[in-house]
Each structure stands twice: as C-alpha cells, then as structure tokens.
Amino acid sequence: MHLLEHCIVITKRVLKESRRMGIRRINVKPLIFSSKNIQETKSHHTAAVNSKCMKVTVLGAAGPTGTALSLLLKQSSLIDELAVYDRSSMAGLVLELSHIDTRCKVNSCTGAAGIVSEANLKEALQDAKIVMITSEDEAFKKITKNQEELLKRNANVISELVPSLMRYCPRAMIALVSRPMNSLIPLISEMYKKGGFDEDTVQTHLFGVTSLDCVRANKFAAEILGIGPECVLVPVIGGSCPKTCIPLFSQMKPSSELTNEEIGKLTYSVKMAEEEVAKEYGRKGSSSLAMAFAAARFCISLCKALRDQRGVVECAYVRSCVIPEVTYFAAPLELGPNGVQKHLGIPALSDYECKMLTATIPVLKVAIRMGQVVLLDPGTWSQRNFYGDVSCPRGSLCQ
C-alpha cells in the first residue's frame, strides 16, 4: 500500500470513529507530500542543528585518559558530535564507540593507518565548541620525578597543537588535562598572545582542569562524614600538583566541624593520591580513569554553561588576579556562554590553609615562569613560524 493510500485509510477510520463517539465534525488538514517541501524542511532542520551543534574534540584520544574520556563523553545527551584525534589510528576506538546507543555522533580524524595531516587536525577542530587536550600517560610513568623533562616533552606536543587551535577553532573553550598543568597553561596563554589574541580570550577561554583534586577531596571527606560523595562539595584552590593544590575543607558543604587531625589526614590524602595510585600500579600506570571522570565532569559543566545554563561553578586553573603575587591560579569560577563568567575569589581560609597558601605561591611562581620562558628557548619554539596565517576572531586586535 502506498503512503498516500495508507493515510486515506487512517483518515476514514478516524472519521468513522468520531461519528460513533458523537463528534459531528472533525477538521483534518490535508497531507501534501512534495519532494520540495521535504527537502526544504530537511535543509531547515539541518541548518538549525548545525547552528546549535555542540561539538567536543578530544586531542590525544588514543591514550588511557583520552580513551576513557571519549567513552564518558559519548554518554552525554548534551553533546551532539564527538571528534577524537591522535597520531595513532582511531578506527577501532571510533567503531567501538559508534556501537553505543546514544545520540552523540563520533568522528575519527586520523587515517586508517594512523596517518596524521593538517587536514585531519582541521577536521577535528573546525566548529568545535570545546577542545579537551590530554597527553599520553606513558611519559608520566617514565619521567614523573623530572618535571622539567616532562614539561619539555608535553610542551613540544602542545606547541604543535596550539597554532591549529587558534586557526580552526579560535572561539573554542580549551581545557587542558595534561601535566605539568601549572606550566603548560601559561605556555598556551603566551602562544595565544604571541598569535595576536587579546587578554580577554586568554582569561576566559583557557582552562587547566583541576577537577580530579576536587573529586578526590569530595570522596575522602564523604567517607569521614558517612554520607554520599555526591552530596559533598570541597573547593580546591592553588595549582595542580601535590605541592600547590590546597583543598579547603573549612569551606566544605555541608559544613562540618572536622578536627585538625582529620583535616590534616584528608589534605595529605588528596595531595598524595596520585603517588598512591602509581605505587599500586607498580609505577606502570596512573589515575587515567579518575582523571577521565573528572575531565568529563568539567567538560559537561562547560557544555551546560555554553547552553546558557546559570549557576555553573567549577574550580579550574586559569589566568587570574585573585592572588596578586601570581598570574595563574586555581579557584572557583562561574562559567557562562563566553567561558569564565565570574571569578568567585577565595573564601575565608583557616590558619592551616593560609600556611599552605603561603608555601604554594613561590612554587607556583617558578612553575609559571618555566611555562612562559620555555617559549623563548632559542633551540625550541622561537625559531618556528607558527603564526603566519593565524587571525584573532576579534579582527582589529590581531595585527
């Protein structure tokens, strides 16, 4: 039976049933099937979807953290498209993710044999609203103790990606999940400024994801309080390493009168959590799953903020002046459609937390300086022409 005949049969049944129920008149609008109308509707729908499409890109998706992060983001109803990119082949990961019955579309942006080109990176980044940058965790396993070597290794990776970020998705929110974050965020910021981007973009669009420290603080505090961790909120300020992260248990919600001994143990647990995980893995692994979970949570918060949901608050390491002595600091932020909506500042600190902050500032200063000067190293980046065809989305600000 043709579609039109089927519709006529259904209409007759409706009219017959309405007469049986005493309804004397029923208005039925005629169904007009026209290929032109269908195409116009389709085009209009596609345009509407594309204009509001929430595309998230994961760079470094082949690593343990990137793979787990991609899986978690695939489950989100807030994400329309997920692009995964790495130097190695993404075919298997994308095929497996595509079998998951959620609406999020997944795209691989590398060749079947792992061939990477500028075109692949362009495909991954173009129209992206959020870009999550992860690094291969193998480097962390081998040179954790040598932060300078780790910085050089990951700075090389970052320096190859940032020009493409500026070129293909200049308005995207950039969230870094790589170590050492205290130095890499200043490095990225300097590259953006060198590429002609204004201070406002640097302050509102670049994030160091410190959510893992918050997740751990919430979990450890919940165990002492005897309540569900989803009910606990502990802000973590400072930086993203054991020497610089400062969990504020005095500002925990719900508020609780913890003893100094309990706070000391909780703080130590948060700071040493990564070391404990590495030990349990026999120095052959790190907190890839927990890091992916925390990064996914931050990404979802960004998605909500970009969709203009109000009251989205996260802690992140950003360019900030909340502490006059340092130019980058992790603290609670209100997120909005343009990234950082508002710096919520630092709440009142206990004496113990003040001492930790005092000890943190010199360490952060050194880390920030390392990230800034690594761009000036004559043997590395200063001799490369990254910025030839990069333009700032704000037009006249880029000269």
Pair 244, 312 in one domain? yes
Domain boundary residue, one of 195, 210, 225: 210
Query: Tell me, what's the pLDDT at 285?
Result: 75
Pair 343, 264 in one domain? yes
Is residue 154, in this structure, part of any structural domain at all? yes
End-to-end Cα separation, the chain, in angstroms: 66
Pair 266, 349 in one domain? yes
In DSSP terms, which residues pair with 313 in a beta bridge? 334
Its pTM stands at: 0.81
Pair 205, 225 in one domain? no
- Phi, psi for residue 300 in degrees, rounded to 5: -65, -40
Distance from the Cα of residue 396 to its chain's centroid: 29
SS3 109: coil
Pair 205, 322 in one domain? no
CA 190 – CA 172 distance, rounded (Å): 17
Whether the upstream peptide bond of residue 254 has omega within 30° of 0, thus cis, is: yes
At 258, which CATH number? 3.90.110.10
Is residue 35, in this structure, part of any structural domain at all? no
Pair 216, 206 in one domain? no
Is residue 103, in this structure, part of any structural domain at all? yes
Pair 185, 135 in one domain? yes
Low-confidence ranges of the chain (pLDDT < 50): 3-4, 7, 11, 14, 18, 20-51, 139, 143, 378, 380-399
Is residue 397, in this structure, part of any structural domain at all? no
pLDDT tens string 316-338: 999 999 999 999 999 999 999 99
pLDDT tens string 118-168: 889 999 999 999 999 998 655 455 545 567 788 888 998 899 999 999 999
In DSSP terms, which residues pair with 312 in a beta bridge? 335
Centre a 10 Å sphere on the Cβ of residue 250 and count the other Cβ atoms it contains.
18
Is residue 383, in this structure, part of any structural domain at all? no
**Domains held by the chain: number:** 2
Domain span holding position 299:
212-365
CA 298 – CA 136 distance, rounded (Å): 20
At 121, which CATH number? 3.40.50.720
Whether the upstream peptide bond of residue 362 has omega within 30° of 0, thus cis, is: no
CA 212 – CA 222 distance, rounded (Å): 15
Pair 133, 183 in one domain? yes
Residues 142, 147, 148: CA angle, nearest 5 degrees: 110
Is residue 26, in this structure, part of any structural domain at all? no
Pair 117, 237 in one domain? no
Domain boundary residue, one of 187, 210, 233: 210
Mean pLDDT score of the chain: 83
Is residue 190, in this structure, part of any structural domain at all? yes
Is residue 307, in this structure, part of any structural domain at all? yes
Alpha helices of 103-196 — where are they, by DSSP H? 118-125, 138-143, 147-168, 181-194
pLDDT tens string 31-42: 333 333 333 333
Domain boundary residue, one of 185, 210, 235: 210
CA 367 – CA 377 distance, rounded (Å): 16
Pair 238, 268 in one domain? yes
Pair 203, 58 in one domain? yes
Residue 56 contacts by C-beta under 8 Å, 6 or more apart in sequence?
Answer: 73, 79, 81, 82, 83, 128, 129, 130, 131, 132, 299, 303
Tokens of 213: 């420290």
Pair 357, 234 in one domain? yes
SS3 95: helix
CA 279 – CA 12 distance, rounded (Å): 74
